[in-house]
Structure 1
Amino acid sequence: MDQETRVVNDTLPRFEKSHGKSEAEIRRRILKAVFEQRMRPGERLTEEQLATAFDVSRTVVRQAMARLAQDGILEKLPNVGSTVASPSRKQTRDILAIRKMVEPEIVRSLAAAPSGPAVARLRAHLLQEFDARKRGDRGTLVRLTGEFHLLLAELAGNELLTHLMTGLQALTCLAILLHAEREDACPPDEHGTIVAAIEVGDGEAAAAQMLHHLRHVEKDLHLDRPEPESALAWLRGSERERI
């Protein structure tokens, strides 16, 4: 490789970073919009739209969208393109079943060896939730209550677990928009009781509180109700009745 080629190759990454967003940053921004419930289930996203919004090439956008589709956050539909996922009640039950298996063990492990810095980060996060609730900043509050669960996974020190929880939490946010009668954030006291149990090293209490919390979320989603009939199925039924 000659000197001129090396100079060009060294310059391109810095140019892209300074004049547009990276693929990882685009994914982070889209996930933030999902966590704040600014992006609705079924909302259509195009490469051109996102490339313009983030001032990047469609190639970078395509990479970000492919990763989000791989994680289930976006769905690719024939002749439509990519849309924000719309988890069914069955899919939501599956999501929460995984969370009920994983998250009690996360807090149990944190309580087994509670560290001062970890508890301090959790307490600081609770203060942010309290402040957003006090200010009536619903979007920020919804995002923070979701990010609380991601922080627990991060503090557990498992990168793969954090990635898994990010996808599960994003899908839970979308399911709440679809199936809950209210779009409220988590109740104000339940995160605090989990942190208190971690702080005193009571793993059983922390796990029990987390399970109670997730069951509370599940109850609010009314997942025992039947799936709504699709418009196409209804039209087919109407046609049979007419005949």
Structure 2
Amino acid sequence: MERPPLRFEKSRGRTEVEIRRRILQAIFEQRLPPGEKITEEQLATTFDVSRTVVRQAMARLAQDGILVKSPNIGSAIAAPSRKEARDILAVRRMVEPDIVRILANAPAREEVIARLNRHLALEDEARNSRNRGLQVRLSGEFHLLLAELAGNRILVRLMNQLQALTCLAILLYAGGDEACLPDEHSRIASAIAAGDRAAAEKEMLHHLHHVEKDMNLDRGPDTAGFTEAIEWLRGHSGHGVEG
């Protein structure tokens, strides 16, 4: 039997957070293409909420640079330029090595490793089942989990923004199908488990260098259409993206 569309309680705070979470998940799964126009009316219909609530969610996404507003076009998913893509990765190189150094020296490192291992197992499961959308999202959420485990909510919000913009840049410029290779994540986790801060930093920098190296300016976007993305937003309830 076909599952009915998911409905949301029209609670201002909860619904606004849920809308942002779903849009970020759609970006992480490469379902929303960069530059695609998105309207209040479409989202209000999709989520069965008022346009006022949608407007609040869109304002936050615009504040984070994930939506771009234009007087003639309206709101559209960000399409980072080549320079912006380089700037995004430069900021990640500043922030993420420090995150893994913190975790390698964390008092509760056993719990950190347990959560990282559970996440890596989910990545493996998605890869083995050939669920590419879930695999791509989980690869991105590995980095969000690192920020969460560091215990700094400002870092979590920053990493949500940087990861979403990185996903959009990958859609525009990456030459390969997968930016986050599984062995690179596992090497980062292993360095953290060993308490080796220098190795954790080195592995993270190597990983981010690989992501940047995979950027290929000769390749254009190759994503699902907006109609399919709207259907996914309407019916999917996933978890893992911080509000």
Q: 2:143 aligns with which of 141, 149, 152?
A: 149
d(CA) in 2 for partners of 1:185, 1:104:
18
Q: Which residue of the partner structure matches residue 103 of structure 2?
A: 110
On the 8 A contact 2:174/2:214 being kept in 1, the answer is: yes
d(CA) in 1 for partners of 2:172, 2:147:
26
Q: Which residue of the partner structure matches residue 26 of structure 2?
A: 33
d(CA) in 2 for partners of 1:185, 1:141:
11
Q: Which residue of the partner structure matches residue 238 of structure 2?
A: none
Task: Compute the TM-score of the two structures, normalised by the length of structure 2.
Answer: 0.83
Higher share in helix? 1
- Aligned-residue identity in percent: 65
- Structure 1 residue runs of 5 or longer lacking an equivalent are 1-13, 226-243
On the 8 A contact 1:47/1:58 being kept in 2, the answer is: yes
> What CA RMSD, in Å, does the superposition of the two structures yield over aligned residues?
1.9
Q: 1:119 aligns with which of 102, 113, 117?
A: 113
User: In structure 2, do the counterparts of structure 1 residues 91 and 176 end up closer, same or farther at CA, with 3 Å as the change threshold?
Assistant: same
The 5 Å alignment of 1:17-32 reads 17=11, 22-32=15-25
Deviation, 1:17, is 3.5
Q: 1:129 aligns with which of 103, 123, 131?
A: 123
> What's the secondary structure of 2:182's corresponding residue?
coil
> What's the secondary structure of 2:11's corresponding residue?
helix
On the 8 A contact 2:174/2:216 being kept in 1, the answer is: yes
Q: Which residue of the partner structure matches residue 221 of structure 2?
A: none
Q: 2:133 aligns with which of 109, 124, 139?
A: 139
d(CA) in 2 for partners of 1:84, 1:212:
29
Q: 1:86 aligns with which of 79, 84, 95?
A: 79
On the 8 A contact 2:9/2:15 being kept in 1, the answer is: no
On the 8 A contact 1:176/1:183 being kept in 2, the answer is: no
> What's the secondary structure of 2:76's corresponding residue?
strand
d(CA) in 2 for partners of 1:204, 1:83:
40
On the 8 A contact 1:85/1:171 being kept in 2, the answer is: yes
Q: Which residue of the partner structure matches residue 238 of structure 1?
A: none
Bigger Cα Rg = 1
On the 8 A contact 1:177/1:183 being kept in 2, the answer is: no
Q: Which 4+ stretches in 1 moved above 6 angstroms?
A: none
Q: Which residue of the partner structure matches residue 164 of structure 1?
A: 158
Matched positions, count: 211
Task: Compute the TM-score of the two structures, normalised by the length of structure 1.
Answer: 0.83
Deviation, 1:112, is 1.1
- Whether 2:189 is the aligned partner of 1:195: answer yes
Q: 1:162-221: CA deviations, max 9, x gaps?
A: 100000000000000001122324112000000000001000000000000000000001
On the 8 A contact 2:179/2:211 being kept in 1, the answer is: no
Deviation, 1:21, is 6.2
Q: Which amino acid aligns with 1:205?
A: A
Structure having greater relative contact order (Cα 8 Å, sep ≥ 6): 2
Q: Which residue of the partner structure matches residue 186 of structure 1?
A: 180
- Structure 2 residue runs of 5 or longer lacking an equivalent are 1-7, 219-243
